[in-house]
Amino acid sequence: MNAIRIFFVGGVTSYRALFNWVNPWVFVPQTLGYPIFEILFFSYLGRFADVQSDKFFLIGNAFMALAMTGFFGMGNAVGGERRSQTLPTLLASPANRLALFLGRAVPSILTGFTVAVTAFTVCAIVLGVTFTKSELAGLAVAGLCSAFACTSFGLCLGALGLRGRSVSLFADTIGGSLLLLSGANVPLERLPAAVQRVSNVLPLTHGIQAGRILGGGGSFADAAHLLRGELLVGCCYLVLGIVMLRVFEYIGRRSATLDTF
């Protein structure tokens, strides 16, 4: 019960603190601007290269927008505490660590979901791409699976924040790698076999593929194995992230490095 309280109260407080720090009139256009221009950039690059359709890039990069908030939400939850020198105090409390950091990340992830949906809608209008209601429902399901997998992966990145000080940069680089490795912008079959094997164990890869099937009018039966794959990848990273949180906190306490910045 206490963990649930920490999850909600901590999450709401940190989210309110964000808006005390950043004016919403500035935050909203900034947050929306990045994914919208990213989608347009790659869609126009695809048009120039005569590779795939606008729908291919629209779905791939809308999922990327979803992924980044999962990565950064968790990564920054830990990194932000370190930067403001409150990490040791926070970890001295007996609170459940997962509830503590997930509570801070979930509001960011929900915001990210809203941002991704808005960017998707705006770019679909700009690029003249249309979807039926059932296609949109399928995309939403695939998006939720990917959000879960990316948040789980973000938990691992967040755990790294207990040991390192450049987690944001690391998350940024990993996110950038996914532009290529997840198949968001390059059809997977064009990548070398070794790279495809790496792609298969990354979050987002199966989600994007499922999204493209469902967004292209395919049935859930066609995409079921991909959705299962995405959820499986997410579960693996969730377990790994929880283990990493425990181990790195223990090492950080032992070596007294929690507040080094």
Partner 1 sequence: MIRAFASGMWIHVVQFSRNPFDLTGIVVWPILYATIAYYLLDSKDNPKLLLGASLGAAVMLMWSLVVIGSSNALENQRWLGTLELLVAAPVPFASVIAPITVASGVVGGYALVATLAWGTLLFGVPLSIAHPLPFVAAVPSCVLAIGMLGLVMASTFVLYRAAFSLGIALQYPVWIATGLLVPLSTLPAFVGHIGWCLGPYWGFQAIKQATLGSAGGAWKDIGMCFAVSAAYAVIGSVCLHFFERVARARGSLKLT
Applying CB under 8 A, the residues found at the interface with partner 1 are 21-23, 26-27, 29-30, 33-34, 37-38, 40-42, 44-51, 83, 166, 169-170, 172-173, 176-177, 179-180, 185-186, 190-191
Q: How far is the CB of 47 from partner 1 (least distance, A)?
A: 6
**Shortest Å distance, C-beta 186 to partner 1:** 4
What sign does the dihedral 96-99-102-105 (CA atoms) show? negative
Q: How far is the CB of 110 from partner 1 (least distance, A)?
A: 18
We find the least distance from the C-beta atom of residue 81 to partner 1, in angstroms, to be: 15
From the list 70, 79, 62, the residue with the least C-alpha distance to 174 is: 70
The DSSP annotation for 174-186 comes to HHHHHHHHTSSSS
Q: CA 219, CA 216: separation in Å to the nearest integer?
A: 9
Let me know: does 88 contact 259? Beta carbons within 8 Å.
yes
Given the complex with partner 1, which of 91 and 181 has the nearer CB atom? 181
Supply the DSSP symbol for 161: T
| Of residues 64 and 145, the one with the C-beta less far from partner 1 | 64
| Cβ nearer to partner 1, comparing 100 with 184 | 184
Give the nearest distance from C-beta 112 to partner 1 in angstroms: 14
* Cβ-contact 37, 122 below 8 angstroms: no
**Nearer to partner 1 among residue 98 and residue 179 (C-beta):** 179
| CA atoms of 256 and 88, how far apart (whole Å) | 9
Q: Identify which of residues 22 and 235 has a Cβ nearer to partner 1 in the complex.
A: 22
